[in-house]
Amino acid sequence: AEPGAELQVALVPSYACQRHTPLLHHNTVLTDALSILAENAELTDNEGRGVAFRRAAALLKSLPHEIRGMEQLKGLPCLGDHCLRVIKEVLEDGTCSEVETTRQSGQFTALKALTGIFGVGAKTADRWFREGIHTPSDLQRSGHTLNRAQQAGLQYYDDLNRPVTKAEADAIGRIVERAVSEVLPGAEITLIGGFRRGKNTGHDVDFLITHPDEGKEEGLMVKVVSWLEAQDFLLYQKTTRNSYLESKDGPARPPSNMDRFERCFSIFRLSTHNGVRMTETDPHSHFSVHPHDSHPTPQTCRTVDVLSREDSSEIGQPQSSHSQSWRAVRVDLVVSPYSQFSFALLGWTGSKLFERELRRWAVHEKAMTLSSHTLYDSKQRQYLRANSEEEIFALLGLEYVPPCGRNA
Ligand code: ATP
Ligand code: MN
Ligand code: MN
């Protein structure tokens, strides 16, 4: 090993929120292997193991070099015995038998295919698997009663399992922006989730909506959804109203990491021909840059950019003869009051592991409780205010990590 290498690794901090984790990194062979095991653990009700594999993978993603031998792992955090065994095998043989066995197992393949149906979680998939249902077609034939989400999930299965491109995300952004500005002028929309972290594709598109006049945003989601439905943009939607305020004097709720914003899980009908022309005719289409969100980075897309005509035509390419003129796209919309915007932005930008690590850091290292609404300091017994993500990191005693570094 190079002199000083050990000293360097000894300084790698153990929480993912203390590190920068870029989208592209040097250890994909190892992290792909660990991700399979994480996924399998999550699908078989082993959340703890899943998190352990995810943390190990995230650690490797944050390293500035490729791992070629076990000696380079000395002193690194997050790597338990099981992970080390997997890494050793991959380094020595190119593959790990446990990973390959898992990848090819009927159970793993079936559970992945079934949870690939929108509206189907690990528990339901497992139940169906044990009834002999292994594929979406099996499910279709089974005559099971499905809820609305699952019916839509089956109906649009192929589209929803095809990655959403950035161009498609931008086209959706223009539609949502139009809807929002029609029903509440001055409202601001921000692209969140994976696309804000700089990903080129996603399994869905996520947006956060707010309005600078606190209170104006109340009831906004219902209006936005009505507008979208009237324009025939929605194939499916389930809107949940804000349960935050009412719960304060209402009956006590169990503590939960789930936030309580007005939100909408939806499936958009994105036109691949004239949908583009439709949005092009709106000369005022723009996305307001939220004043709180003030540290752009090159790999980061804070807001949805307006596409030029040339860019837009990308998604309006001539279709092959058997393809249809539209595709289904999963879209998540969240509305937050202005005062909670920074917490919502931080909480919905992800990645899921990064969020989990932020909350774990807050509780265990700072005796604070972080949610997508607030930060509570248990020692001072008060809520801490913040007007930007940078301020939240500072309150947590963490160095700021921009969205592109949160790909843990
Ligand atoms: P992908 O590109 O696959 O969509 P993603 O990072 O955008 O990746 P999402 O599942 O869209 O993944 O989640 C985006 C963010 O929203 C994550 O940080 C996640 O923690 C948060 N999130 C998702 N669902 C909920 C929910 N029900 N309640 C609170 N936060 C959620
Ligand atoms: Mn997403
Ligand atoms: Mn989402």
Residue 131 and residue 245 in one domain: no
113: tokens are 């295919």
Q: What is the pLDDT along the chain (408 residues), one digit of tens a residue?
A: 455 555 555 589 999 999 999 999 999 999 999 999 999 999 999 999 999 999 999 999 999 999 999 999 999 999 999 999 999 999 999 999 999 999 999 999 999 999 999 999 999 999 999 999 999 999 999 999 999 999 999 999 999 999 999 999 999 999 999 999 999 999 999 999 999 999 999 999 999 999 999 999 999 999 999 999 999 999 999 999 876 554 444 444 444 455 678 999 999 999 987 544 444 434 444 443 343 443 333 333 333 333 333 343 334 344 455 568 999 999 999 999 999 999 999 999 999 999 999 999 999 999 999 999 999 999 999 999 999 999 999 999 999 999 999 999
Q: Is the CB of 15 under 6 A from ligand 1?
A: no
Active site residue 206: yes
Residue 182 and residue 313 in one domain: yes
Residue 380 and residue 309 in one domain: no
User: Exposure string (b/e) for 177-192, b if CB count within 10 Å is 16 or more?
Assistant: bbbbbebbeebbbbbb
Length of the chain counted residue by residue: 408
Task: Identify the pLDDT of residue 8.
Answer: 54
Task: Identify the pLDDT of residue 396.
Answer: 98
Task: Identify the pLDDT of residue 245.
Answer: 52
Residue 401 and residue 359 in one domain: yes
> Is residue 159 included in any domain, yes or no?
no
Distance 20 CA to ligand 3 centre (A): 22
Residue 137 and residue 95 in one domain: no
Q: Where among 324, 339, 354 does a domain terminate? A: 339
Residue 65 and residue 123 in one domain: no
Cα–Cα distance, 137 to 134 (Å, whole number)? 8
13 φ, ψ (degrees, to nearest 5): -75, 160
Question: Which ligand neighbours the alpha carbon of 198 most closely?
Answer: 1
Q: Is the CB of 88 under 6 A from ligand 1?
A: no
pTM value is 0.86
Distance 390 CA to ligand 3 centre (A): 23
Distance 305 CA to ligand 3 centre (A): 19
β-partners of residue 239 are 264
Residue 352 and residue 332 in one domain: no
Q: Is the CB of 355 under 6 A from ligand 1?
A: yes
Distance 192 CA to ligand 2 centre (A): 7
Residue 384 has a CB neighbour count (10 Å cut-off) of 15
Residue 367 and residue 248 in one domain: no
292: tokens are 């709180």
Q: Where among 339, 364, 380 does a domain terminate? A: 339
Active site residue 159: no
**What CATH code is carried by the domain that includes residue 114?**
1.10.150.20
Which residue, by CA, sits nearest to atom 13 of ligand 1?
Answer: 193
Q: Is the CB of 350 under 6 A from ligand 1?
A: yes
Cα–Cα distance, 81 to 56 (Å, whole number)? 11
Q: Shortest CA distance to 290 belongs to which of 236, 362, 342, 360?
A: 342
From the list 126, 204, 259, 293, the catalytic residue is 204
* Known binding-site positions for Mg(2+): 204, 206, 332
Mention every residue, 6+ apart, whose C-beta is less than 8 A from residue 8: none
Query: CA-based angle 138:144:145, to the nearest 5?
Result: 140
Cα–Cα distance, 28 to 61 (Å, whole number)? 8
Q: Is the CB of 351 under 6 A from ligand 1?
A: yes
Residue 34 and residue 180 in one domain: no
Task: For residue 143, give its domain range.
Answer: 108-148
Cα–Cα distance, 214 to 252 (Å, whole number)? 25
> Is residue 156 included in any domain, yes or no?
no
**What CATH code is carried by the domain that includes residue 272?**
3.30.460.10
Q: Where among 86, 102, 118 does a domain terminate? A: 102
Residue 201 alpha carbon, nearest atom of ligand 1: 2
Probe residue for ligand 1, chosen from 205, 263, 348, 374 as the CB with the greatest number of ligand atoms within 8 Å: 348
**What CATH code is carried by the domain that includes residue 17?**
1.10.150.110
Sort 262 into a burial class: Cβ within 10 Å, 0-12 / 13-18 / 19+: buried
Return the residue matching tokens 């589209």: 159
DSSP 23-50: SS-S-HHHHHHHHHHHHHHHHTT-HHHH
Q: Which amino acid is at 155?
A: Q
Task: Identify the pLDDT of residue 324.
Answer: 83
Residue 304 and residue 354 in one domain: no
3 state SS of 97: helix
Residue 330 and residue 397 in one domain: no
213 φ, ψ (degrees, to nearest 5): -90, 105
Cα–Cα distance, 357 to 44 (Å, whole number)? 22
Q: Is the CB of 194 under 6 A from ligand 1?
A: yes
> Is residue 158 included in any domain, yes or no?
no
Cα–Cα distance, 16 to 332 (Å, whole number)? 25
Which residue, by CA, sits nearest to atom 21 of ligand 1?
Answer: 348
**ipTM for this prediction:** 0.98
Domain count, the chain: 4
3 state SS of 202: strand
Cα–Cα distance, 28 to 33 (Å, whole number)? 8
Active site residue 45: no
Q: Is the CB of 260 under 6 A from ligand 1?
A: no
Residue 118 and residue 89 in one domain: no
